[in-house]
Structure 1
């Protein structure tokens, strides 16, 4: 774990650096630090509120207003099931490694944007600061026994927060549906990011093939793998449509990412999706 941690952080920091870090503020007067506008002084304004330097350039008095900004919580869930360790080629990262990298890059953007971030698998509440990033990276790289397919951790998300679930979503969808329903009840908006290897998307297998789960518990042999392609692709399309519908009912968004693709577009989509979900 210690050997992999620096590489994960380096990949995530490089990925995060490609995204123009925006702000999650709303354009209205409030208690933020970022300047918004000047307005004319009104009865009731204190002398301390008046911007004397700006007022000296005009005939009236002006008050400096800052933009309203409140720290929000971003909760991230990364599927650690055995199926996520699959990689169809040595030149591609595993689904788990890509999900971990996207999760950490998103956490870096959130923390540096002044927000709190946490993992759904941790009991600790979301926090801000650089130290939190190290805690999250360590937790993501923690090697513990998972099932064949992962499921969202049944944790109560902070009301009004935003959340991201990264998984291949190839297991029982009942856990995902339950998690989304609970999130919707608490006003939590977010996104489902389905991470797939391109082999899982195209099913390039033909002839005699032995299919085995990552744990080795499931095994299936066929002499005509190509004959299974149509049925497999139909079921995969049905699963994607089911995920889209579940996300839509909860007010969430859905995105499918392939490990053969660059990670930057996925992170940019995710970052923008969370910004829209916060408005």
Structure 2
């Protein structure tokens, strides 16, 4: 094996080993977080594969004729499917921004935005999997799956390094019809891409939530005097002698971005939530759990 090939193989091996060692830690943190929410959540009836009748729903494209309840359908102009408890567990698609801006932390006492997003995403996946649902990641081509093994697959995939770009964008190419989805990001990138992703999701009757994760320094802008602002990739660099003079304009743009995200959610039937990395993760996870339950109801 040539030196370049050997170096590439060693690099890939070291990356794989790093991911393999980091995934269990993420999984452990997420399991602890999920447990705090599960303790306060009571089960409720859901459509499933049991024998007990649950509800009728209108037939959709892709449903088999064998599923149609012809007696119920004869009472109206449409076709209806007879559902039983736990039938066809819904899928939850989760997206975590892989942009470099998510690696920011304003203080060593706070986690990186990406780590908080990964932990929340993993905890949400654990809760859904324990509830018998299928879970998938939006940046993968794999179909959403259920079962305990899927938790480790998701943890490993979340820890993998992706393209070194400043801002990631929500991916909505592979969304099962009628599924639910959650995107975790600081949403500092191109807002048009967010609007486009939620538009595509709405076309497939997918609803869910945007969780904007920010470091407190990004809310306060605690900079004064000579300051060098540099993007996490180093692609953008700006130096000023009067940083405080930029504060009002920055905060105005941040407020405008939040308003834009809320408006996009309003138009598409999604929900918006803001989370700060200096705050506990439990309230946000509980909010997500309840929000997705309301979407499904």
How high is the TM-score relative to the length of structure 2?
0.80
What's the counterpart of residue 201 of structure 2? 183
Given that 1:100 and 1:140 are in contact with CA atoms closer than 8 Å, whether structure 2 keeps it comes out as yes
Instruction: For structure 1, list consecutive stretches of 5 or more residues without a partner in the other structure.
Output: 37-65
Give yes or no for the alignment of 1:247 onto 2:265. Answer: yes
Please point out which of 78, 93, 113 is paired with 1:95: 113
Counterparts of 1:193-208 in structure 2 under 5 Å? Answer: 193-208=211-226
**Residue in 2 aligned with 1:68?**
85
Q: 8 Å contact 2:164–2:233 — kept in the other structure?
A: no
Aligned match of 2:45 in 4, 18, 25?
25
Superposed displacement of residue 156, structure 1: 2.9
1:76-155 correspondence runs (5 A)? 76-155=94-173
CA contact (8 A) 2:172 2:201 kept: no
Deviation per residue, 1:184-221 (Å, 9 max, x gap): 11111100000000100111111111101001111111
Work out the CA distance in 2 between the residues paired with 1:149 and 1:273: 26
Give the alignment's Cα RMSD to 1 decimal.
1.9
Question: CA offsets per residue over residues 145-179 of structure 1, 9 Å max, x none?
Answer: 23110011241310000000000000101111011
Indicate whether 1:220 and 2:220 are aligned. no
8 Å contact from structure 1 (residues 24, 69) kept in 2: no
Structure 1 counterpart of 2:228, from 210, 234, 239: 210
Aligned partner of 2:22 in structure 1 is: 4
Change (3 A) 1:260 1:34: farther
Q: Deviations 1:230-263 (Å, cap 9, x if unpaired)? A: 1111000000000000011110000000000000
Unaligned runs of 5+ in 2: 1-18, 55-82
Shift of 1:25: 3.1
Q: How many equivalent pairs are there? A: 248
Secondary structure in 1 matching 2:165: coil
C-alpha contact 1:24 1:278 (8 A) present in aligned 2: no
Q: Is the 8 Å Cα contact of residues 91 and 144 (structure 2) preserved in structure 1?
A: yes
- Spell out structure 1 runs of 4+ moving beyond 6 A: 33-36
Please tell me whether the aligned partners of residues 110 and 116 of structure 1 are also in contact (alpha carbons under 8 angstroms).
yes
Q: What CA deviation, in whole Å up to 9, does each residue of 1:44-101 have, x standing for no partner?
A: xxxxxxxxxxxxxxxxxxxxxx972231100000000000000111111000000000
Greater fraction of residues in helix: 2
What corresponds to 1:167 in structure 2? Answer: 185
> How big is the shift at 1:228?
0.7
Checking the alignment, whether the CA contact within 8 Å between 2:53 and 2:85 is kept in structure 1 is no
**TM-score normalized with structure 1 length:** 0.85
Task: Confirm whether residue 273 of structure 1 aligns to residue 277 of structure 2.
Answer: no
